[in-house]
Amino acid sequence: MDRAKKPAAIPVSPIQPTPQVSISDDNSRVTANLPTGQQLQVLLYGATVISWKSANGKENLFLSSKAHLDGSKPVRGGIPLVFPVFGPPSSDHPTGRLPQHGFARNSRWEYLGKSSSESSTLPNSKGDASVKLDFGLSNSMLSDSKWDYEFNLTYSVTLSQDSLETSLAVRNTGTSNYEFQVLFHTYLAIDSITETTVSGLEKAAFKDKVQGGKEVEPAGKPISIGSETDRIYTAAPEQAIKILEKGKDRYELTRDMLSDVVVWNPWLEKAKGMADFGPEDGYKKMVCVEAGSVNAWNTLDAGDTWEGGQRIKAL
């Protein structure tokens, strides 16, 4: 018998696609994909981001064709993480026994897991808007760090539809204060270095390492690169940095707790001298714009935590 008034069917909301995260068979890298097509790859060796692709498949990071991805040496390209020292350390400093750029980029990190943030719940939503991957490194994981302090590092890499964020939390788990430096050594992929400029640092003084660390007054104009370039700029973190190609915005860099920006390109002769840099003319296709805190030392008291990060938007 048909009922006169049937109960209305309960509407079922469509299942939204979610980010997919996988670990390689050899447990060497983590790959994340957004439902909208963006992709991220991170090596556990160094927790090094080696690929960041936009939805159209365009690669935003330069990776040397000769880069070692087997854990035998730090990766040339992507985003190597520099900690706890940037340049060649002074022999009388506690970091004096460390290699240049420290040990974070040539240590194996632990993958701690993922989390995602939801996008709009409207019917035309394309699913979760971002995914965050967390990696950890502590002094207990190192056989000999040559740095006699206790620490716990949490490195977070967040892939969104139009940007990539990297952030580092440094916790002093020991009883002694210590000093450190940090840098995200980002290799950005570009079409042509001669048609690329960097803006946002026009009013910033810089240290020119090509000229032996000479202090140089602000140039008052965007940076153009036509020879070996290795500069450390100091600029307020709230100052956004833009990388332009043919006068059009390509990337935008914003920083948190990072007052320095390194701009680097090896040019031809220096590129030739690096065994892991390739192809030989690859310098034409990359520019390093690196957010960090390296011009001075950060002091971290026992039990305290320092946090800093960057956000790179692909325009």
Active centre residues (catalytic): 185, 290
The position carrying tokens 């995260």 is: 21
Single out the residue of 204, 131, 200, 120 nearest to residue 164, CA to CA.
131
Exposed, middle or buried: residue 232 (CB in 10 Å: 0-12, 13-18, 19+)? buried
Helix (H, G, I), strand (E, B) or coil at 193: helix
Q: Check: CB of residue 5 under 8 Å from CB of residue 72.
A: no
Q: Check: CB of residue 34 under 8 Å from CB of residue 128.
A: yes
Q: Count other C-beta atoms under 10 Å from residue 294's C-beta.
A: 23
The span from the CA of 227 to the CA of 19, in Å, is 41
Beta-carbon contacts of 264 under 8 Å, excluding residues fewer than 6 positions away, are 229, 230, 231, 287, 288, 290
Helix (H, G, I), strand (E, B) or coil at 115: strand
The span from the CA of 224 to the CA of 307, in Å, is 31
Beta-carbon contacts of 157 under 8 Å, excluding residues fewer than 6 positions away, are 40, 42, 47, 49, 132, 133, 135, 164, 165, 166
